[in-house]
Amino acid sequence: MLDQTVSSYRSPTFLRLALGYVYLHFGLLKFFPDLSPAELIATQTVMAFSMNILDATTSQFYLAILECAIGLGLVFNLFPRLVFGMFIFHMFGTFLPMFLLPEFTFKIAPFAPNLEGQYIFKNIVFVAAGWTVLMPEIFSERRKEKAIAKVTLEQAPESQERVEYEKVLA
């Protein structure tokens, strides 16, 4: 009973590996100038968001580190809570050009995105994939506690222990 309840919350491995590979690949490209197709829009966005505190080279370097860290975390299934936080932060940043730099993302704002705008819109799929992969990992411990409490509650007689398990389930 318990194994079935807890195991039903696993994230899809192939989707996690695919998303991790894409992040790692795009992150590695950013370590080398002029290799990333998103280099201009990415660096301009970070510069605009940081109010030009960071220059283009520094922006690209930090983006490369962030994307590689997310990718490695996904590929090796490491630190899911930290990876989820970095992922949400990165996804927030990927949509910023739509608002900060509409001249880079639209032919006619907000109805006709250019190629860069379409590149950004596809990140909606990344958000869905990241959510699908990372949410079960983040909440698996809490779900495991609830599943254990539920099974124990079904077996426990009326007692103080039962009251404690009911609190966990609340």
Both tokens assigned to 45: 């966005």
User: Is residue 109 one of the residues assigned to a domain?
Assistant: yes
Assigned domain for 2 exists = no
> Domain range holding 32?
10-139
Angstrom distance (rounded) from CA 143 to CA 5: 9
Please give the pLDDT value at position 5.
47
Decide if 159 is inside a domain.
no
User: Which tens digits make up the pLDDT trace of 130-152?
Assistant: 999 988 877 776 677 777 766 66
H helix or E strand, kind and range, residue 113: strand 112-113
Please count the structural domains in the chain: 1
Please say if the pLDDT value at position 6 is more than 50: no
Has residue 167 been placed in a domain? no
Residue 158 in domain: no
Average confidence (pLDDT) over 151-155: 65
pLDDT (tens digit per residue) in 46-90: 999 999 999 999 999 999 999 999 999 999 999 999 999 999 999
Helix H or strand E encompassing 101: none
pTM of this structure = 0.79
Q: Is residue 111 part of a domain?
A: yes
Instruction: Judge whether 90 lies within some domain.
Output: yes
Asked whether residue 152 is domain-assigned, the answer is no
Which tokens hold the place of 75? 């590929």
